[in-house]
């Protein structure tokens, strides 16, 4: 079972080309991360953006220009160990690739940012339903009307992920996810989608719609996709990100990420 792999074992499968799919549910219990790569000249402004907006963009690791081995996964190579990457030129999507060695050079800085998979595992362990997992779908993500604090040339609206819960389960979810402060932490909103600029909860901008049952309210968490919108908001010559759902899998465990 792929969920029983360690982070290192899953990365080995990815690097050798045996694994090309999404990483949701795989190597369960190991922290997965959003990836952003960009030229060093823009790296201070982007790191400043992340530090200024820690809920959507929690920094798990920053690598020096040209470095490929993150501290949170010794032996890993960020150029080859994600199943799928996206390449952007001057802020525009160019293509998806399975290896970025030809794009990466000694001037490239890599950022790894926290991902909500960590707290989804903790919610499941507490007996809370995670609808997107129940339905075998990607989580529903929405662009809100809240603006992140900009930094240098980078700006973005806050993107959120949504999981439907009863009010009582939402209370427990606040408690559970608060512990995961470097993987988005507590929700940013609960209830009325229109209050944060979401017109149609049935049509997420990213991911899939999920059922909201009678008696449930939508609960919204800050989402790492915000970092992708920010990174591509400036006309940089090159930006590389993971492809949605195809994350970097580290050696850290979810529990190691908690504040309490």
Calculate ∠ Cα 10-15-20, nearest 5°: 75
Q: Which is nearer to a second copy, 85 or 111 (CB)?
A: 111
Q: For residues 1 and 259, which CB has a smaller minimum distance to a second copy in the complex? A: 259
Cα–Cα distance for residue pair 188/171, rounded to 1 Å: 13
In three-state secondary structure terms, 105 is coil
User: Which residues here bind a second copy, judged by CB under 8 A?
Assistant: 40, 43-45, 47-48, 51-52, 59, 61-62, 64, 71, 109, 149, 151-152, 178, 181, 185, 259-260
227 and 38 in contact (C-beta within 8 Å)?
A: no
Q: Please say which residue, 84 or 181, places its beta carbon nearer to a second copy.
A: 181
**Least Å from the CB of residue 257 to a second copy:** 12
Distance in Å, CB of 72 to a second copy, minimum = 11
Smallest distance from the beta carbon of 175 to a second copy, in angstroms? 9
How far apart (Å, rounded) are the C-alpha atoms in residues 234 and 36? 13
> Closer to a second copy at the Cβ: 19 or 248?
248
Instruction: Find the angle CA(135)-CA(146)-CA(204) to the nearest 5 degrees.
Output: 25
CA–CA gap between residue 94 and residue 239 (Å, rounded): 10
Q: Which is nearer to a second copy, 67 or 94 (CB)?
A: 67
Q: What minimum distance in Å lies between the beta carbon of 183 and a second copy? A: 13
Axis-axis angle for helices 117-125, 167-178 (nearest 10): 120
Q: 164 vs 185, which CB is nearer to a second copy?
A: 185
Give me the least distance between CB of 242 and a second copy, in Å please: 20
Minimum separation from the CB atom of position 199 to a second copy (A): 30
Residues whose CB falls within 8 Å of the CB of residue 198, separated by 6 or more in sequence, listed in order: 142, 144
CB count, 10 Å around CB of 178?
Answer: 15
């Amino acid at each position: 079972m792929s969920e029983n792999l360690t982070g290192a074992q899953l990365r080995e499968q990815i690097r050798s080309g045996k694994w090309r799919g999404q990483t949701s549910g795989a190597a369960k219990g190991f922290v997965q991360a959003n990836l952003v790569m960009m030229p060093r000249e823009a790296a201070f402004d982007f790191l400043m953006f992340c530090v200024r907006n820690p809920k959507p963009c929690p920094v798990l690791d920053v690598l020096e220009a040209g470095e490929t081995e993150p501290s949170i996964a010794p032996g890993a190579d960020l150029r080859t160990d994600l199943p799928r990457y996206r390449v952007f030129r001057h802020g525009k999507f160019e293509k998806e690739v399975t290896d970025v060695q030809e794009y990466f050079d000694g001037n490239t800085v890599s950022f790894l940012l926290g991902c909500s998979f960590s707290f989804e595992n903790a919610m499941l362990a507490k007996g809370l339903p995670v609808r997107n997992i129940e339905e075998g779908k990607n989580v529903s993500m929405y662009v809100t009307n809240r603006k992140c604090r900009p930094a240098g040339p980078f700006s973005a609206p806050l993107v959120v992920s949504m999981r439907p819960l009863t009010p009582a389960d939402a209370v427990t979810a606040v408690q559970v996810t608060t512990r995961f402060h470097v993987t988005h932490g507590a929700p940013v909103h609960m209830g009325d989608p229109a209050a944060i600029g979401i017109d149609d909860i049935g049509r997420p901008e990213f991911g899939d719609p999920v059922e909201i049952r009678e008696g449930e309210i939508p609960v919204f968490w800050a989402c790492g996709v915000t970092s992708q919108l920010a990174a591509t908001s400036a006309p940089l010559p090159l930006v590389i990100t993971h492809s949605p759902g195809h994350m970097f899998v580290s050696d850290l465990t979810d529990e190691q990420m908690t504040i309490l």
